A and B are shown apart, each in its own frame.
Chain A
Amino acid sequence: DIQMTQSPSTLSASVGDRVTITCRASQSIGPWLAWYQQKPGKAPKLLIYKVSSLENGVPSRFSGSGSGTEFTLAISSLQPDDFATYYCQQYTSFTFGGGTKVDI
């Protein structure tokens, strides 16, 4: 099975900061990577699919990049609503990364 490793596991940041989260796959997954945001007690929300395509309604401060085995989610200017946990998911065998909590 393909393993997905996210880093860091926790990220402390301030409003207005640029933050990046990395997701590494144990083998190449092509373009089949998605990113989700989850807030406490809520279902995950799809942010980005196929590495860099922004889901409808998601603010443009979110962006995704990468290829092969290394991928990045970037938030250009962190907003109060962005404090949450973020997960990557590879879509060849569906596994999720371990998550990155972004807190103040």
Chain B
Amino acid sequence: EVQLVESGGGLVKPGGSLRLSCAASGFTFSTYSMNWVRQAPGKGLEWVASINSGSYYIYYADSVKGRFTISRDNAKDSLYLQMNSLRVDDTAVYYCARDHSVAAAGYDYWGQGTLVTVSS
């Protein structure tokens, strides 16, 4: 069974840093592109970042470029999101999501999400 479990969320002050993790199981992690998507309270979905299986294609939303870094460790079946210079408007539930096994076909598995709150 495919499982994605996020961790690392919490309360942080503006300007602070946080590192999110996503532990994957039930599939061959090293062969899939992975993604982070966030959702501010009461708002819609916002794509944050994507990384391909070998970490050589990495993309970011303009809203996080230069502040967030997506990475992965295929030996540990884990995806990460390093978030620096956090702002109040980064407050959201952060989901990790797996690319569909069919190329360019959306995200077929999602984690349960981890809440990041940026507040003084």
Could you list which residues of chain A lie within 8 angstroms of chain B, going by C-beta atoms? 1, 32, 34, 36, 38, 43-46, 49-50, 53, 55, 87, 89, 91, 94-99
Contact = CB atoms under 8 A, between A and B. Distances in A.
Given A1-B62, A43-B110, A43-B111, A89 B47 contact: yes
A75 to B, nearest CB: 18
Interface stretch (B15-23, B70-78, B81-89, B97-105): B97-105
Chain B residues touching A, range: 20 to 34
A89 B111 CA distance: 18
A39 to B, nearest CB: 12
Contacts, number: 59
Which 4 pairs of residues, A with B, have the shortest CB-CB distance? A34-B106, A49-B105, A43-B110, A94-B47
Given A87-B44, A96-B45, A50 B105 contact: yes
Interface of B: 35, 37, 44-47, 50, 59, 61-62, 95, 97, 100, 102, 104-108, 110-113
B68 to A, nearest CB: 14
